[in-house]
Chains A and B, each alone.
Chain A
Amino acid sequence: MKNKLLFFSLTLIALVVFSLVVTAQEPVKIGIVSPKSGNYADHGEMERIGMYLAVEDFGGKVLGRPIELIEVDSETNPDIASRRTKTLIEAQDVKFFLGAVSSSVGIAVGSVCHELGSIYICTNANSDTITGVDANKHTFRVPPNMAILVRGAAKYVAENLGKKWYFVTHDYSWGWSGTEWGRKMLDKVGAVEVGEVKIPMNTRDMSSYLLQLVNSGADVACVTVGGFDGIALYNQMGEFGIFDKMKVWWTLADYPDSYAIPPEQRGRYGMMEIYWKATPELIEFSKRIHDKYPGAIANVTETNSYHGWLGMKALLTAIEKAGTTDVDSVIKSLEGLIICDNKQPDPTYIRPWDHQFIDTMFFGHDIPGAEGDDITEVLFTAPCKDFARTMTENPIDLTK
């Protein structure tokens, strides 16, 4: 009897040890749904670089288990991104996802993850709805939304650049939301609207819109135009000498877009989500990117690479903190998480009630004629917490 008991006990112990060993070696799979083709393929490349570097910071392991990154091309298409996310969950039981540059892809992936119970950290989409009407329990978002970006800059613009605003709007929901937030700020900062022009998607010749802008009598052009259209607009503003006639405020300014413009034609003001020289850590991070990925589209830390890095770091930190890969535990661990070693001047905080990352943004001015990588002068930094929507402004229920 004693022998039997001993035998069963030993077998049981062996099984437990064996299963622990197997679990310890089993990789933690993280799906990266990022554009490798389509309109934002270059942005996708940068966000993936940021994610690789975050994994490297963790020594390629979390909870003592190797991290396996599984990449799929979102093609900047919500339809395809949904399908590939679903496939990873169904076939490979992936519980964690990061990525997305465009808002539509972010919302689609978030919706699939919510349906199938995986965590999704949206790394580079700014639409208000991701943490607004489309918010859900499983979706988190790293970059600031349009409300934060516009409200953070409006006061400074009215006081220092001018009070007569002319809106230049990319004619779809993201562009509209930038202009809408600008309009909401008019009374609060004592500015007035002198007109608006809407630029359709995929427009490259901006001459007719710029003529309207020149004749508007505005002090400030409030621009919410992105992607390649935004670069074309910026370039042609320089050619038309707009910067000599008025100030130009870009509600969301990305470093690679400024870098693409010939130095003598630069001159816009804009809210940046990250400034590569803000801290020694960010300068060091730029060096890492430059040394490790010399062919990358940006030499320095910019929005996509930084948010890719921060999103991955937040996820891995939360998994470590939770001590498990159980989705609900990791969600709890992410909610309210404070990341102090975020390379920024202030820590990053994840709001538990809307899953929005909150840190610092930078209002800058592209120095005309500046050569090299240092092309922007930062005029002030703005803490996102002061400008993010409150619970009253954005009443959402993440328990649904």
Chain B
Amino acid sequence: MKTKNNILQDPYLYIFIIFLVYPFLPYIGKYRSVGTELLIWSIFALSFNLVLGYSGLPSFGHGAFFGVGTYAVALTLLHLTSKDVTISLILAAFFGGLFTFFYGFIIKKKRGIYFSLLTVAFSQILYVIGFRWDEVTGGETGITGLQRGGFLGIQINNPITYYYFVFVLFVITLLVIRKISNSPVGKVLLALKQDEKRAQYLGFNTERQVWFIFTISGIFAGLAGGLHGLLHLSAFSDTLHWTKSGDVVMATLLGGGLANFYGPIVGAIIFISAREILSSFWDNWLLLYGLAFVVIILFIPTGLLGIVERIREKKHFEQFNNNRNNIGSKNTQEIT
């Protein structure tokens, strides 16, 4: 059972409060769609981090599963039901999971560069399909003019209502992913990340675990994509492009997904905000952006929360040393 102190130290509480009051914050609160986008990207980055942060598998094609979710929502709203988004969101998560299930089966044995290349290749296949299959995906010009309608009878057309709708799904996603990462499966994945051979010798079927986590990750990536489609009421093939996958890698690394569970959320917030702020100030903002990425990879590869973790570890170590010294001096006094 959690004590009051433990609850107060849990970053989840602060993330919850910040996003809960976001629309009412002075100045930034009026940027509602950016707030919704932050929540969606946080879901996407958290799902991606299950693969990168926990299993250590560098997937560079996760944008494809996000895009699959976007198209699932768009096509469902266009052809099945346009009044309620419930089915379309379920299908977005389902197709995200289905694609990763099949693809996970193919690549579950691959590691390192082969794993990365196969994920990139898969995302590009889907991108080309999205870009060229005009009759279904709308090709270059995509699918537009969608209606958000309601969710189980609740109208989510209003930007504020939609923000809180995404917020609720974000909270649920966060809890589920945290549960998974703290479960035995999560621990096996961490073992796999540290030394796969050793994990196998301990009797774990690491391939099956990779396949499982890849599928779970795809479900949430698909959900994020679906929410994204509903935010912009459109679907474009660009969401399937490998650059989208690059964006989520950057967001996750920036925040410190490799070192901390909440890293992807911090990364997503910084990633989106920095992009919006920098691009409004300087035409050549991409130069700064690229430089920032290089600096982070070179000097703080564990990301921003990695620094926090390091400081915290250092403090713990110092405290441990102090305690040990105190106990040591006490013992010496007693002996003397």
Chain A positions within 8 Å of B, measured between CB atoms, are 36-37, 71-73, 75, 77-79, 82-84, 86-87, 90-91, 102-104, 107-108, 110-112, 114-115, 127, 129, 134, 136, 171-174, 176, 201
Contacts and interface: CB of A to CB of B under 8 A. Distances in A.
Contacts of B33: 83, 86-87, 90
B140 A103 contact: yes
B238 A77 contact: yes
Contacts of A75: 279
B32 A108 contact: no
Given A82-B232, A104-B141, A171-B132, 13 more contacts: A37-B286, A77-B238, A90-B32, A90-B33, A91-B31, A107-B144, A107-B234, A108-B142, A115-B233, A129-B141, A172-B139, A172-B140, A173-B139
A71 B239 CA distance: 23
A82 B228 CA distance: 11
Interface centre among B32, B37, B131, B145 (most CB of A within 10 A): B145
Nearest to A78: B236
A270 to B, nearest CB: 21
A91 B280 CA distance: 14
A36 B284 CA distance: 8
B145 A72 contact: no
Interface string B130-166: 0110100001111011000000000000010000000
Contacts of B141: 103-104, 107, 127, 129, 134, 173
Interface residues of A, dominant DSSP? helix
B30 A111 contact: no
Nearest to B157: A115
B145 A134 contact: yes
Contacts of A87: 31, 33-34, 276
A117 to B, nearest CB: 13
Contacts of A79: 228, 232, 236, 238-239
Contacts of B280: 71-72
A95 to B, nearest CB: 16
B276 A173 contact: no
Nearest to A70: B280
Interface string B200-216: 00000000000000000
B283 interface: yes
A83 B236 contact: no
Given A111-B145, A172-B140, A83 B232 contact: yes
A143 B232 CA distance: 25
Contacts of A90: 30-33, 159
A296 B140 CA distance: 28
Contacts of A71: 280
A155 B142 CA distance: 32
A71 B280 CA distance: 7
A372 B99 CA distance: 55
B279 A108 contact: no
B175 to A, nearest CB: 27
Contacts of B239: 79
16 contacts: A71-B280, A72-B279, A75-B279, A87-B276, A90-B30, A90-B32, A90-B33, A103-B140, A107-B141, A108-B234, A110-B144, A134-B145, A171-B132, A173-B141, A176-B134, A201-B131
B318 to A, nearest CB: 44
A172 B131 contact: yes
Contacts of A201: 131
Given A90-B159, A104-B238, A115-B233, A78 B142 contact: yes
A112 B142 CA distance: 14
Nearest to B70: A79
A127 B232 CA distance: 21
Contacts of A103: 140-141
A28 to B, nearest CB: 19
B16 interface: no
B285 interface: yes
